[in-house]
């Protein structure tokens, strides 16, 4: 159905236009009784769209896929991917559609993308649908990541379809509208590489123009593109690690070329610091454990390199050598982003040789004493202002903390920084509020049962993660012991 809603968005669909071999024109399945559950007013404004127009029935019809706005050219995108290490040659948008691309008020190109909008030619055995809970979860965690300053796709809206979807139980269905700088994945390159080298080149040219324009001016643009992606991912994963985020399903089809976090499925934030933390019920081997994420990113980037070799150099050995050199730089790049981030979390000015062991020793201490990762850094800044009790209280054996803290304070005073300024700088990078698993579960259970109030309250808390607000004390606390060991079920 096409409805005259042309004034909502101004589309310019470069992907559908330039890369027809990598997508299939398709339409969303009709939703019987759409109801808007959440709309991101701030993001709507950024897209240059009137939020009130999106809230109106015709706007909701667009956001659920019942009306195709003028200028849209909905396509299901093809991609392949290594899932838990095993190659699947044809995945693609099984229940998603790229509605089109819009230029936002800053002139940036953004994809508008549905998830849960019905079966597509890539649906395989799936029903093409999505329940309300997981779509609101993607909305919530994406917004939390954005507020934490981490590159991510964002949610524009979640609309309930009025239909029930069959999972372990019957659940209310929903469509998520997601906004991304693009949906090109490592898996998109893998898919293209199996089709035709000329297609990989067209895809590479598309993403150079769109995400890594500097690479276009390099002597070897495709090698420079690769280096740009390696660097963007090193930075992204460091940011995840610094806030305790576990993606949970870092398959190559869930890794973007832009460097944005994508596909919030069984993801979660760690409470106690432990590199072995796994939340996903389907990650039996712990492949995507918190501490494995940098190594997995590098593994995924090796898969990307394989697709680019023919573009990098006509001589395969020369191509492999050049790509390997860039890939090997991942560890250093990641290490730098991560150490700089850790120094900022600890208020450490400059960089000294001894910082490495100071950081390593702290992490060992946090792990052994199972200290809450998020709470620790805020308590640490308080300790700088004379109140060491909150930090000490996080340790079963505070003497070990005291000893470490003495070294840390000596390192700080070596540069004679003002403690208040240091504490304030720490508080600007260490969140008070993260989407703790028990809070997310609580909000989504209520939403699934029809009460959206806890969801909107939590969304509001997570929108300003660095600022202590009175009355929100419970949002800063770890899960009560009764919550037990957390598992997220893909249940998508």
Q: Which stretch binds ligand AMP (CB under 6 A): 94-102, 150-158, 349-357, 443-451?
A: 94-102
Task: Locate 76 and state its tokens.
Answer: 């299901």
Nearer to ligand AMP, 91 or 246 (CB): 91
Q: Answer whether 11's CB lies under 8 Å from 101's CB.
A: yes
Tell me the C-alpha distance between 267 and 244, whole Å. 11
Choices 88-96, 352-360, 381-389, 453-461; region in contact with ligand AMP by CB under 6 A: 88-96
> For residues 54 and 11, what is the distance between their CA atoms, to the nearest angstrom?
16
Pick the closer one to ligand AMP by CB: 176 or 237. Answer: 176
Residue closer to Mg ion by CB (options 254, 488) is 254
Q: Do 112 and 177 touch, CB atoms closer than 8 A?
A: yes
Residue 472, contacted partner among Mg ion, ligand AMP, none, CB below 5-8 A by kind: none
Can you tell me the distance from the alpha carbon of 115 to that of 446, in angstroms, rounded to the nearest whole number? 22
Q: Which of residues 238-277 bind Mg ion (CB under 5 A)?
A: 254, 263
Cα–Cα distance list, 349 to 144, 354, 385, 415, 425 (Å) = 27, 13, 17, 7, 11
User: C-beta of 263: minimal distance to Mg ion in Å?
Assistant: 4
Q: Give the nearest distance from C-beta 187 to ligand AMP in angstroms.
A: 9
Out of 22, 66, 95, 330, the residue judged to bind ligand AMP by CB under 6 A: 95
Select the residue interacting with ligand AMP from 34, 65, 100, 128 (CB under 6 A). Answer: 128
81 vs 291 by CB, closer to Mg ion: 81
CA 79 to CA 96: how far, in whole Å? 12
CA atoms lying within 13 Å on the CB side of residue 309: 16
Which residues are the active-site residues?
253
Pattern 251-290, binding to ligand AMP, x per CB under 6 A? ---x--------x-x-------------------------
Please give the helix or strand (H or E) that residue 381 lies within, else none.
helix 373-384
Select from 244, 45, 276 the least CA-distant residue to 145.
244
Pairwise CA distance, residues 209 & 204, whole Å? 9
Least distance to ligand AMP, CB of residue 435, Å: 19
Shortest Cβ 106–ligand AMP spacing (Å): 29
Place of tokens 């597509």: 120
Closest to ligand AMP by CB, 92 vs 294, is: 92
How many residues touch ligand AMP under the rule CB under 6 A: the total is 17
Burial class of residue 398 in the structure, from the number of CB atoms within 10 Å of its CB (0-12 exposed, 13-18 middle, 19+ buried): middle
Q: How many residues touch Mg ion (CB under 5 A)? A: 2
For ligand AMP, the binding residue among 65, 69, 92, 142 (CB under 6 A) is: 92
Smallest distance, Å, CB 88 to Mg ion? 11
Among 123, 209, 218, 472, binds ligand AMP (CB under 6 A): 123
Backbone angles phi, psi at 152, to 5 degrees: -160, 155
Strands (E) across 268-309 are located at 268-269
- Tokens for 394? 């996080």
CB of 165 to ligand AMP, least distance (A): 8
Is 127 a binding residue for ligand AMP by CB under 6 A? The answer is yes
Q: Is the Cα dihedral 327, 329, 334, 337 positive or negative?
A: negative
Binding site for ligand AMP (CB under 6 A): 91-96, 122-123, 126-129, 249, 254, 263, 265, 492
Binding site for Mg ion (CB under 5 A): 254, 263
């Amino acid at each position: 159905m096409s409805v005259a809603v042309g004034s909502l968005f101004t589309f310019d669909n470069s992907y559908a236009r330039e890369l027809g071999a990598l997508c299939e024109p398709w339409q969303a399945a009709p939703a019987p009784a759409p109801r808007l559950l959440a709309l991101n007013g701030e993001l709507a404004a950024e897209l240059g769209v009137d939020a009130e127009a999106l809230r109106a029935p015709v706007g909701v019809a667009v956001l659920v896929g019942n009306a195709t706005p003028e200028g849209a050219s909905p396509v299901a995108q093809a991609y392949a991917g290594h899932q838990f290490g095993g190659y699947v040659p044809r995945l693609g948008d099984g229940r998603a559609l790229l509605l089109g691309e819009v230029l936002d008020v800053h002139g940036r190109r953004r994809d508008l993308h549905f998830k849960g909008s019905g079966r597509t030619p890539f649906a395989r055995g799936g029903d093409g649908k999505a329940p309300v809970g997981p779509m609101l979860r993607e909305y919530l965690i994406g917004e939390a990541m954005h507020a934490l300053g981490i590159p991510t796709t964002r949610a524009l809206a979640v609309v309930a379809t009025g239909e029930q979807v069959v999972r372990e139980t019957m659940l209310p269905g929903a469509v998520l509208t997601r906004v991304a700088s693009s949906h090109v994945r490592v898996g998109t390159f893998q898919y293209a590489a199996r089709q035709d080298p000329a297609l990989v080149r067209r895809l590479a040219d598309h993403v150079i123009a769109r995400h890594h324009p500097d690479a276009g001016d390099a002597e070897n643009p495709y090698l420079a593109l690769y280096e740009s992606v390696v660097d963007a991912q090193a930075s992204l994963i460091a940011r995840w690690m610094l806030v305790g985020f576990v993606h949970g399903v870092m398959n190559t089809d869930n890794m973007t070329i832009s460097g944005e976090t994508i596909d919030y499925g069984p993801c979660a934030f760690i409470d106690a610091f432990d590199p072995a933390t796994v939340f996903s019920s389907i990650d039996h081997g712990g492949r995507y454990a918190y501490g494995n994420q940098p190594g997995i990113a590098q593994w995924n980037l090796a898969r990307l390199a394989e697709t680019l070799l023919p573009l990098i150099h006509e001589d395969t050995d020369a191509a492999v050598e050049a790509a390997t050199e860039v890939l090997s730089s991942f560890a250093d790049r990641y290490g730098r982003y991560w150490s700089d981030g850790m120094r900022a979390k600890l208020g450490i000015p400059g960089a000294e040789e001894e910082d490495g062991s100071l950081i390593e020793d702290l992490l060992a201490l946090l792990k052994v004493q199972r200290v809450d990762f998020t709470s620790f850094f805020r308590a640490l800044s308080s300790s700088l202002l004379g109140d060491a009790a909150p930090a000490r209280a996080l340790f079963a054996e505070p003497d070990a903390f005291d000893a470490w803290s003495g070294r840390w304070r000596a390192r700080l005073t070596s540069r004679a920084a003002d403690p208040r300024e240091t504490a304030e700088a720490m508080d600007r990078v260490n969140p008070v509020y993260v989407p703790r698993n028990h809070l997310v579960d609580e909000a989504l259970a209520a939403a699934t049962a029809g009460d959206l109030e806890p969801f909107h309250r939590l969304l509001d808390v997570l929108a300003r993660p660095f600022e202590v607000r009175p009355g929100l004390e419970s949002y800063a606390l770890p899960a009560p012991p009764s919550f037990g060991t957390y598992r997220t079920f893909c249940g998508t």
